[in-house]
Structure 1
Amino acid sequence: MLIASMFTFAACGGSDNGDGGNGDAETIKIGAFGPLSGEVAAYGTAMTDSAKLAVEEINAAGGIDGKQIELFVYDTKADKAEAVNIYNRLRDQDEVVAIIGGTISGETLAVKELAIADNMPMLTPTATSADVTIGAPSIFRACFLDPYQGSAAAAFSVETLGAETVAVLYNSDDAYSEGIAEAYKAAVEAEGLEVVYYDAYTSEVRDFNTYLTQIQSAAPDIIFLPDYYNRIGLIATQMKDLGMEQIAVGVDGWDSVEIDYAEQVEGFFFVNHFAKDDPDPIVQNFIAAFQDAFDREPNALGALGYDAAYILAEAIKNAGSTDAQAIIDALADIEYTGVTGPIRFDDEGDAANKNIAIIKIVDGKHVLEEKISAK
Structure 2
Amino acid sequence: MISGKRILFAAAAALATTGPVLAQDTLKIGHISVSSGFLKSVGEPSNVAVDIAVQEINEAGGINGKPIELFRYDTGSDPKQAAVAARTLAKDDEVLAIVGPFSSGEANVALNDAERLKVLMLPTSSSAPGLTDGKTYGWRLTEDEKKQFGRLLAAMKEKGLPMETAEIVYVSDEVVANGAGTKLYPALLAEAGVEVGDPIPVQWKTFDMSAQVAKIVQSNPDFVAVAALPEHASKLIAELNRQGYEGRVIGSQIFADPNVLELFGPEGEGTLLVAGFWKGRTEASQKFNDAFVAEAEARGIHKLGAHHSDAQAYDTVYLVKQLMEAAGTTGDPDKLEEERQALVDGMEGIRFSGILADDICFDGHDAELPGYVIEIKDGEWTKFAEAPADSCE
TM over 0.5: yes
Which residue does 2:324 correspond to in 1? 316
User: What is the distance in 2 between the residues matched to 1:189 and 1:298?
Assistant: 32
Q: How far 1:309 moved relative to its partner?
A: 0.7
Q: How many residues align?
A: 356
Contact 2:217–2:240 under 8 Å retained in 1: no
Alignment-derived partner of residue 213 in structure 1: 214
CA distance in 2, matches of 1:129, 1:157: 23
How far 1:200 sits from its partner (Å)? 2.3
Q: CA deviation at 1:109?
A: 1.2
Work out whether residues 197 and 215 of structure 1, in 8 Å CA contact, stay in contact via their aligned partners in 2: no
Aligned sequence identity (%): 27
Is the Cα–Cα contact under 8 Å of residues 344 and 351 in structure 1 kept in the other structure?
yes
Distance in 1, matches of 2:316 and 2:207, equals 34
Q: What's the counterpart of residue 168 of structure 1?
A: 168
User: Residue 99 of structure 1: SS of its match in structure 2?
Assistant: strand
Counterpart for residue 19 of structure 1: none
Structure 1 131/158 Cα, relative in aligned 2: closer, same or farther at 3 Å? same
How far does residue 239 in structure 1 lie from its aligned partner after superposition? Answer: 1.1
1:262–1:363 Cα contact (<8 Å) kept: no
2:270 to 267, 271, 275: 267
In 2, Cα distance between the equivalents of 1:143 and 1:365? 25
CA distance in 1: counterparts of 2:221 and 2:86, whole angstroms: 45
Instruction: Give a deviation string over 1:301-359, Cα, whole Å, max 9, x none.
Output: 11111111101111111122361111011122321122221322223x1012x100111
Cα distance in 2, alignment partners of residues 166 and 317 from structure 1: 49
Equivalent in 297, 303, 306 of residue 311 of structure 2: 303
2:35–2:44 Cα contact (<8 Å) kept: yes
In 2, Cα distance between the equivalents of 1:157 and 1:197? 22
The residue aligned with 1:281 is 283
Match of 2:10 in 1: none
CA-CA distance at 1:45 after TM superposition: 1.7
Provide the rounded CA distance (Å) in 1 between the counterparts of 2:275 and 2:265.
17
Structure 1 residue runs of 4+, over 4 Å off? none
Q: Unaligned 5+ residue runs, structure 2?
A: 8-21, 298-302, 332-338
The alignment status of 1:332 with 2:348, answered yes or no, reads: yes
Q: Which ranges of structure 1 fall in alignment gaps of 5 or more residues?
A: 9-22
The equivalent of 1:11 in structure 2 is none
1:344 and 2:361 are equivalent in the alignment: yes
- CA–CA separation in structure 1 for the residues paired with 2:240 and 2:128: 28
The residue that corresponds to 1:127 in the other structure is 126
Output the CA distance in 1 between the equivalents of 2:201 and 2:155.
Answer: 22
Q: Which moved more, 1:123-132 or 1:223-232?
A: 123-132
Alignment map for 1:1-375 (pairs within 5 Å): 5-6=4-5, 25-160=24-159, 161-181=161-181, 182-254=183-255, 255=257, 256-276=259-279, 278-295=280-297, 296=303, 297-321=305-329, 323-342=339-358, 343-347=360-364, 349-352=365-368, 354-375=369-390
Task: Report the 3-state secondary structure (helix = DSSP H, G, I; strand = E; otherwise coil) of the residue aligned with 2:318.
Answer: helix
Deviation at 1:150, TM superposition (A): 2.6
Looking at structure 2, the residues matched to 194 and 214 of structure 1 have their Cα atoms a distance apart, in angstroms, of 15
Question: How big is the alpha-carbon RMSD for the aligned residues of Structure 1 and Structure 2?
Answer: 2.3
Q: TM-score, normalised by structure 1?
A: 0.88
